[in-house]
Structure 1
Amino acid sequence: MGLKSFLSKPFAAYIASKQKKWSADPVKYQQKVFDNLIKVGSKTVFGKDHDFANIKSHDDFKKRVPIKDYEGLKPYFDRVVDGEPDVLWKGKPKYFAKTSGTTSGTKYIPITKDSIPNHINSARNALLNYIHETGNSSFVEGNLIFLSGSPEMYRTNGILTGRLSGIVNHHVPNYLRTNQLPSYKTNCIEDWEEKLDAIVSETRNRDMTLISGIPPWVQMYFDQLKEETGKKAGELFPNFSLFVYGGVNFEPYRAKLFESIGRHVDSIETYPASEGFIAYQDKQGDKGLLLLVDSGIFFEFIPADEVFDENPTRLSVGEVELDKNYAIIINNNAGLWGYNIGDTVKFVSKFPHRLVVTGRIKHFISAFGEHVIGEEVEKALASAVEKFSETEIVEFTVAPQVNPDEGLPLHEWYIEFDKEPLNLQDFETEIDNKLRELNSYYDDLISGSILRKLKVRPLKKNAFIEMMRQRGKLGGQNKVPRLSNDRSLADELENFLKNND
C-alpha cells in the first residue's frame, strides 16, 4: 500500500462519519444552511429588494422570493457581470461558469469564494466515501484521468471566466495533481477529436486507475484506445478500478461501455451542475444519489406537474414524498435565489434522502398531450435492451412525427446501435409496450388510434458524433437531449439514417 493510499483511509473515515451525521438529519442541516443564506443575503441588492430582513422562515421566503430561471434573474446577473459588488451575494464572484442558455445566449453562473467548496469538496468526498465503503484506495496511487473541457480562462470585468470543468480542474488537490492526466497543454485543446488523439497518446502506456467523464465521451476514448492498440480498456489498464461519471443517465451506455472495458469496474455517479454540486452516489449497488444538505445549498422541490403554475407548491426537504417527480430549485451561497435549474428528480429514500435524476423540464414530448418524459423513454429502452441482450446502444433521441407521409402520427426513435437487436420489429414492440405501461396518456392515445406504435430509425455509425460536430458541440460537457417536442434535432438526424445509403 502506497503512502497516499494509506493516508486516504483515516481521512475517508472522518468524512464518512460527518456524512452519516448530516444525512440522518437533513431538516436540521438544511435549516442551518437557510439561516446562513438569509443572514448574508440580507445585505445584498437582491436581499434588500426582496425584504430578507423580515424573513424568519421558509414560508416567509416563499412569499417574497419567486421561482425564476436564468432569464428571470438576468437583470441581477447582468449587474454582477458588469462588475457591481454585493448584488446577489457579498462582494464579487470568484469565477463565472460560462454555459449556453436557451433564450439568453451565453449564461454566466457566479461561483463565489463561499460556494467553491461545494464544487470541490463534494467531488472529493464522493471518492472518500467510496474508499471508506469499499476499502479500495489503491486507485489514488495510479494515474487519474478527467475528461473535461478546457481549463483555460479569461477575465470578464476582472472575474475569471470559463467552463465549470475547467474551473474545477484548477482546484485538483496537489496530492492528486501529479497523478492527473491529460496534461494541461492537452486539456487546453479546443477541437475534441484533436484533443482525443492527444489524450490517447498520453495515456495508452500509463497506469490508469480512475477514469472520469460523461459516458458518451468516455466511450469515444475507449473506442479510440481499441482502434490504436487493439486492446480493451480493462486489458490495457489492468489496475483501472473506478469509473466516475455524471451528467446523463448511465443505463443506455452501460452495456457497450463495460463491453469496451472487458470486465467489471466499480462506478460512482455524481450530480454536478454549474449552479452547484447537488448529490453523489454513496452506496455501491444503489442507484440513488445522496442529496448534499450540508454544502451551502438550500433546496426546494416543486411537483413537476405544477412547475409552470403561477404559484406552485414549494416543498423543503422534510416535506417531499417518495417516487414523485419534482423540479429541483436552488438557493445557494453563490447568490442563486429561487433558481430553477431545469432538472426533475425523484426521491427513492428518505433519512438519508437519496434521489435519481428523471429528466429535464424542457425535454419532453407532448405533441398530443401524452407528456412523455426522459425517465420514461430511458426505462422503456432499458427494458428492451434487457430482453434483447445482444443489443448495444451508442446514443439515441426521440421526437414526435406529427405529419408523417402516411398513416397516423407517431414517436420516432433515432438510435445509433453498436449491435442491433436480432429482430428490430420485436424490439420496437417491446419499447412501445413498456412506454404504454409507464405512461397512461400515451397508452390512451395508442388505444384510441390517435397515435400509432413508435418507430425505431437506425442511424449510421458515428451519426451523433457527426451531428454534434456540425453543431459545434462535439466533446467536453455537451450532451444529446434524450427527447424533444419538436423536430429540429430529428430533422438533422434524417441525414444519417442507415437506409439513406
Structure 2
Amino acid sequence: MSIKSFAAKIFAKVVKHQLNSWAKKPVETQQKVFQQLLKSAKDTQFGSDHHFQHIKTHEDFVKRVPIRDYEELKPYVNQVVEGKENVLWPGKPLYFAKTSGTTSGAKYIPLTKESMPTHINGARNAILNYIEETGRADFVDGKMIFLQGSPQLDNKNGVKLGRLSGIVAHFVPSYLQKNRLPSWDTNCIEDWEDKVEAIIEETLAENMTVISGIPSWVQMYFERIYAKTGKKIGEVFPEFNLFIYGGVNFEPYRAKFESLIGRKVSSIELFPASEGFFAFQDQQNEKGMLLRLDAGIFYEFVKADEFFNENPKRLTIAEVETEVNYVMIISTNAGLWAYNLGDTVMFTSTQPYRVLVSGRIKHFTSAFGEHVIAKEVEVSLSEAAKKLNVEIAEFTVAPQTNTTEGLPYHEWFVEFEKQPESLENFAAEIDKNLQQQNSYYKDLIEGKILKPLVITSIERGGFQNYMKSIGKLGGQNKIPRLANDRKIANELEKFQK
C-alpha cells in the first residue's frame, strides 16, 4: 500500500465520522443551516426587502419569501452581475457559474467564498466515503480523468465567470494534480470532438484508474478509444475500476458501458449543479444518494402534482415521505432564496435521507393529463432493454397529437447500440412497463384515448449530430428525457433511420 492510499484511508475515516454526525441529526442540522443563512444575509438588500430580522420559523419564511425561479430572481441577480455588493449575500461573489437557460438565455449563478468549498468538498467526500465503505484506495495512485468544461475564465464587472466544471478545476488539491488528466491545455479546447481526440492521445498510454463525467460523453470517449485500438476499455486501462458520474440516470447506459469496458466497474453517482452540490451515493448497495444537509443549503419540498397550485404547501426535511415526487426548493449560502432549481426528487430513505433525481418539473409528457416523468420512462426502458437484451445509446420522448389517422400516442426516439429482434415487441414491453409505472397513462391506454407508444429509430450518432447542430455537443449538456411539445422531436426526425 502506498503512502498516498494509506493517507486516503485515514482521511476517509475522519470524513465518514463527520458525515455520520450530521446524518444522525437531520432536522437539527437543517434548522441550524436555516438560522445561519438568515443571520448572514439579514443586512443584504434581499434580507431587508423580505424582513429577515422578523423571520424566526419556517412558517415565517414561507409567508415572507415566495418561491422563485431564475427569471423571477433575475432583478436581484442582475444587480449582482452589474457589480453591486450586498444584494443577495454579503459582499460580492467569487465567481459566476454561467449556464444555459431555457427562456432566460444565459444564467449567471453566484458562487461565494462560503458556497465554493461545498462544491469542492462534495466530490471529495463522495470518493472518501467510497474508500471507507469498500476499503479500496489503490486507485488514488493511478491517473484520474474528469471530462469537463474549459477552465478558462472571463471577467464580469470584477467577478470571474465560467462553467462550473471549469471553475472547480482551479480548486483541484495539489496532491491530486499530478494524477489528474487531461492537461490544462487540452481542457481549454472548446470544440468537443477535438477535445475528445486530444484526451485520447493523452490518456491511452496512462494507467487510468478513475474516469468521471456525464455518461453520454464518457461513452463517446470510450467508443473512440475502441475504434482507434480495437480493444475493450478494460484492456486499454486494466486498472480502471471506478466510474463517477452525474447529470443523468446511468441505468439506460449501463449495458453499453459494460460492453465497451468488457467487465463491470464500481460507480459513484453525484448530484451536482451550479446552484449547489446536493447529494452523492454513499452506499454501493442502496438506492439513492445521501442528501447533504450540512452544506450551507436549506431544503424545502413541494409535491410535484401540487406545484402549480396557487399556494402549494412547502415541506421541510422533517415532513417528507419516501416514493413521492417532489420539486426541490433551495436557499443557499450563495444567496439563492426559496429558489426553484427545476429538479424533481424522490426519497428512497429517510434514515438517512437519500434521494434520486426523478426528472425536471418542466420536463414531462402530459399532453393528455398523464404527467409521465423521467424516472418512469427510464425504468420502463431499462427493464425492457434488460429483458430483451437490447442496448440503448440515447433516447427522448415526446407526444404526437397531430396524427393523420388513429389515436395520438407517445413517440419514443431511440438510438440503439444493439437492435431488438422486433421493434414492435420492444415497444410493447416498454408500454407495459410504463402502464405499471403510471396509472394515469394506463387509464388513457385502456380508455382508448391514447394508443400504445411508437418507437422511431434514430441513426447511429444521430443524437450527437443533433446536439452538434444546436451548438451543445459535449460538456455538461444533455438531452431532456421528456418534452411536452415537438421542438426536439421535429429536429430528431431528420436523423431517423
- Contact residue 214 and residue 477 of structure 1 kept, 8 A: yes
Shift of 1:56: 0.7
Shift of 1:24: 1.2
Q: Whole-Å Cα distance in 1 between the matches of residues 306 and 440 of structure 2?
A: 18
What SS is found at the alignment partner of 1:441?
helix
Q: Whole-Å Cα distance in 2 between the matches of residues 429 and 14 of structure 1?
A: 51
Aligned to 2:404: 405
- Contact residue 25 and residue 351 of structure 1 kept, 8 A: no
Shift of 1:233: 1.0
Aligned to 2:457: 458
Aligned to 2:492: 493
AA partner of residue 352 (structure 2): P
AA partner of residue 412 (structure 1): E
Aligned to 1:444: 443
- Contact residue 44 and residue 87 of structure 1 kept, 8 A: yes
Structure 1 residues 23-422: aligned runs within 5 Å: 23-389=23-389, 391-422=390-421
1:206-232 deviations in Å (ceiling 9; x for gaps): 000000000000000000110111111
Q: Whole-Å Cα distance in 2 between the matches of residues 387 and 135 of structure 1?
A: 34
Shift of 1:409: 0.7
- Report the TM-score, using the length of structure 2 for normalisation: 0.99
- Contact residue 384 and residue 430 of structure 1 kept, 8 A: yes
What SS is found at the alignment partner of 2:492?
helix
- Contact residue 26 and residue 351 of structure 1 kept, 8 A: no
Shift of 1:309: 2.1
Q: Whole-Å Cα distance in 1 between the matches of residues 139 and 309 of structure 2?
A: 48
What SS is found at the alignment partner of 1:63?
helix
What SS is found at the alignment partner of 2:155?
strand
Shift of 1:287: 2.3
Shift of 1:448: 1.5
- In the alignment, is residue 429 of structure 1 matched against residue 428 of structure 2? yes
What SS is found at the alignment partner of 2:171?
coil
Q: Whole-Å Cα distance in 2 between the matches of residues 323 and 446 of structure 1?
A: 24
Shift of 1:460: 0.5
Q: Whole-Å Cα distance in 2 between the matches of residues 220 and 352 of structure 1?
A: 35
Aligned to 2:14: 14
Aligned to 1:479: 478
AA partner of residue 187 (structure 1): N
Q: Whole-Å Cα distance in 1 between the matches of residues 464 and 440 of structure 2?
A: 33
Q: Whole-Å Cα distance in 1 between the matches of residues 181 and 338 of structure 2?
A: 37
AA partner of residue 212 (structure 1): S
Shift of 1:351: 2.0
Q: Whole-Å Cα distance in 1 between the matches of residues 288 and 442 of structure 2?
A: 28
1:74-128 deviations in Å (ceiling 9; x for gaps): 0000000000000000000000000011111110000000000110001100000
Shift of 1:310: 2.4
AA partner of residue 266 (structure 2): D
Q: Whole-Å Cα distance in 2 between the matches of residues 240 and 379 of structure 1?
A: 28
What SS is found at the alignment partner of 1:324?
coil
Q: Whole-Å Cα distance in 1 between the matches of residues 278 and 164 of structure 2?
A: 14
Aligned length: 497
Q: Whole-Å Cα distance in 1 between the matches of residues 287 and 247 of structure 2?
A: 14
Shift of 1:277: 0.2
RMSD (CA atoms): 0.7
1:14-56 deviations in Å (ceiling 9; x for gaps): 0001101111111011111111000011011000000000111
Q: Whole-Å Cα distance in 2 between the matches of residues 234 and 224 of structure 1?
A: 14
Q: Whole-Å Cα distance in 2 between the matches of residues 266 and 468 of structure 1?
A: 29
1:127-176 deviations in Å (ceiling 9; x for gaps): 00001111111111110000011111000001000000001111111100
- Contact residue 328 and residue 340 of structure 1 kept, 8 A: yes
Q: Whole-Å Cα distance in 2 between the matches of residues 248 and 264 of structure 1?
A: 19
Aligned to 1:467: 466
1:443-467 deviations in Å (ceiling 9; x for gaps): 1111121111111111100000100
Q: Whole-Å Cα distance in 1 between the matches of residues 7 and 437 of structure 2?
A: 48
Q: Whole-Å Cα distance in 2 between the matches of residues 404 and 202 of structure 1?
A: 51
Q: Whole-Å Cα distance in 1 between the matches of residues 44 and 274 of structure 2?
A: 22
What SS is found at the alignment partner of 2:277?
strand
Shift of 1:196: 0.5
- Contact residue 147 and residue 476 of structure 1 kept, 8 A: yes
AA partner of residue 182 (structure 1): P
AA partner of residue 496 (structure 1): F
Q: Whole-Å Cα distance in 2 between the matches of residues 164 and 424 of structure 1?
A: 40
What SS is found at the alignment partner of 2:300?
strand
- Report the TM-score, using the length of structure 1 for normalisation: 0.98
Shift of 1:62: 0.8
1:266-295 deviations in Å (ceiling 9; x for gaps): 100000000000000000122210000011
1:437-496 deviations in Å (ceiling 9; x for gaps): 211211111112111111111110000010000010000000000010111101111111
What SS is found at the alignment partner of 2:9?
helix
- Contact residue 412 and residue 454 of structure 1 kept, 8 A: yes
AA partner of residue 215 (structure 1): P
What SS is found at the alignment partner of 1:152?
coil
1:336-389 deviations in Å (ceiling 9; x for gaps): 000000000010111210011100000011111111111111111112112112
Identical pairs, percent: 60
Runs of 4+ residues deviating >3 angstroms: none
Q: Whole-Å Cα distance in 2 between the matches of residues 308 and 465 of structure 1?
A: 34
What SS is found at the alignment partner of 2:190?
coil
Shift of 1:406: 2.2
Q: Whole-Å Cα distance in 2 between the matches of residues 460 and 480 of structure 1?
A: 16
What SS is found at the alignment partner of 1:170?
helix
For structure 1, the residue ranges without an aligned partner over 5 or more in a row are none
Q: Whole-Å Cα distance in 2 between the matches of residues 340 and 409 of structure 1?
A: 32
